[in-house]
Chain A
Amino acid sequence: AQSVTQPDIHITVSEGASLELRCNYSYGATPYLFWYVQSPGQGLQLLLKYFSGDTLVQGIKGFEAEFKRSQSSFNLRKPSVHWSDAAEYFCAVGVSQNFVFGPGTRLSVLP
């Protein structure tokens, strides 16, 4: 069965530090991959997506992610974190017209 794992439940970084959130998926074919962010009390907002082509994709708010087929990974990165980035981050795979979400990683940002 298709699945998405996010190994880190909670990550804390200092403002201005770099960030990498991990995502691994299990899916037989080339997947459609997504990263969403959920601020407290809000719905989910799309940060970026990968369908095909260049494996390094740029998103909103200065985020990027790299698709690595050999590692079945789609890690999210940001070179310099801002306090407003504190939120829950979800990785998702598009599977047969549905979406499978990972459990999420909560990001805390220290001043």
Chain B
Amino acid sequence: GAGVSQSPSNKVTEKGKDVELRCDPISGHTALYWYRQSLGQGLEFLIYFQGNSAPDKSGLPSDRFSAERTGGSVSTLTIQRTQQEDSAVYLCASSLPGQGTMNTEAFFGQGTRLTVV
């Protein structure tokens, strides 16, 4: 596609339910990132995928959070047993590999606004 696509754009769920958020990166981008942005806050890194390498999960806040990336393309972020503090905008980004170990710029999707009631 032309840009990073995220779905759904909005999700309201009841506390304790599981949710899945989807990210479709730009075609050919080998790197994919998930960030969380709470109301009025900056971007909190969650997880990073690069090609076929093991993902960097160092930002996941708890074991209720997990993500996978199938076929090196689409990624799903799953939050189990949602809590009210999980309410936030979840942003996905993708990028091409740059020189050496550095990536180029990150292209962001519009985000999924998750509300846990």
Contact = CB atoms under 8 A, between A and B. Distances in A.
Interface stretch (A17-25, A62-70, A76-84, A90-98): A90-98
Interface of A: 32, 34, 36, 42-46, 49, 51, 90, 92, 94, 96-104
Contacts of A98: 33, 45, 48, 56, 103
Interface residues of B, number: 25
- Name the prevailing secondary structure of the A interface residues: strand
B70 interface: no
Given A32-B98, A34-B105, A101 B43 contact: yes
Given A44-B91, A44-B108, A97-B101, A103 B42 contact: yes
B88 to A, nearest CB: 14
B7 interface: no
B41 A94 contact: no
Contact of A103 (B41, B106, B108): B41
Given A97-B31, A98-B45, A104-B42, A43 B103 contact: no
Contact of B42 (A32, A45, A97, A101): A101
B54 interface: no
B97 A97 contact: yes
B108 A97 contact: no
A43 B48 contact: no
B25 interface: no
Given A43-B111, A46-B105, A97 B43 contact: no
